[in-house]
Amino acid sequence: VQIVQSGAELRKPGASLRISCKTSGYTFSSSSMHWVRQAPGQRLEWMGWINHVNGNIKYSEKFLGRITITRDTSANTTYMDLTALTSADTAMYYCAKQGAQWLAYLDSWGQGTLVTVSS
Amino acid sequence: EIVLTQSPATLSVSPGEGASLSCRASQGVHTNFAWYQQKPGQSPRLLIYGASVRATGVPARFGGSGSETEFTLTIDTLQSEDSAVYYCQQYDIWPWTFGQGTKVEIK
């Protein structure tokens, strides 16, 4: 299993960003992909996930209205869009594959995408 | 949301000794529980899921136990490469949550 994320991003407050997460080595449509972030010195924080089996998407309430998770099944790629960025969104963002269909532990992680929000 | 509280915050252990890390959940999560290891500059790595099942490739010196609200990660015969931050995670009730981490230092 390989999960490769897009590169570091620098954004100004109020801007938006898109992070991509390209996978290989397993059947893309057989699992779910999660988005987790880690602000400096903070614990890991779940943002949302997409079930590639049935297309269902779930977001953490904290990010509702700002986050959109989409996919391109032909490219085995998942995307996470985040809008209305503030300095509090400065963090490392990870996508991670779910380990089993109905159990949301994460058995493979991308390398992370560092997002810096600064004017 | 379920709050996971890990203790201790930092653990300093000599090579060859054992370590015991604790995680307490604010409400019962059955055994829908995992442990991760994160080394500096790296992504988290799954160690344990189902509270006690070692993930593929994880050395046998790592063990997990517990259910509902009390969970423990034990590391037998610590090695220098075990220096890392360890996080617990519950996946019983959405939103899934993580603990704040325990830093294991090797003396």
Per-residue pLDDT reduced to its tens digit, A36-88:
999 998 999 999 999 988 889 999 999 999 999 999 999 999 999 999 999 99
Residues of B with Cβ-Cβ distance to A45 under 8 angstroms: 98
Residues of A with Cβ-Cβ distance to B89 under 8 angstroms: 44, 105-106
As a whole number, mean pLDDT of residues A5-22 equals 98
Query: Which tens digit of pLDDT belongs to each residue from B75-104?
Result: 999 999 999 999 999 999 999 999 999 999
Q: What is the mean pLDDT of chain A?
A: 95
- H, E, C per residue of A65-112: CCEEEEEEHHHCEEEEEECCCCHHHCEEEEEEEEEECCEEEEEEECCC
Check: CB of residue A93 under 8 Å from CB of residue A7.
no
Query: Which tens digit of pLDDT belongs to each residue from B42-77?
Result: 999 999 999 999 999 999 999 999 999 999 999 999
Residues of B with Cβ-Cβ distance to A46 under 8 angstroms: 95-98
- Which residue type is seen at B1? E
State residue A116's pLDDT score.
98
Q: Tell me whether A20 touches chain B (CB under 8 Å).
A: no
- H, E, C per residue of chain B: CCCEEEECCEEEECCCCCEEEEEEECCCCCCCEEEEEECCCCCCEEEEECCCEECCCCCCCEEEEEECCEEEEEECCCCHHHCEEEEEEECCCCCCEECCCEEEEEC
Cis peptide before B44 (omega within 30 of 0): no
Q: Tell me whether B52 touches chain A (CB under 8 Å).
A: no
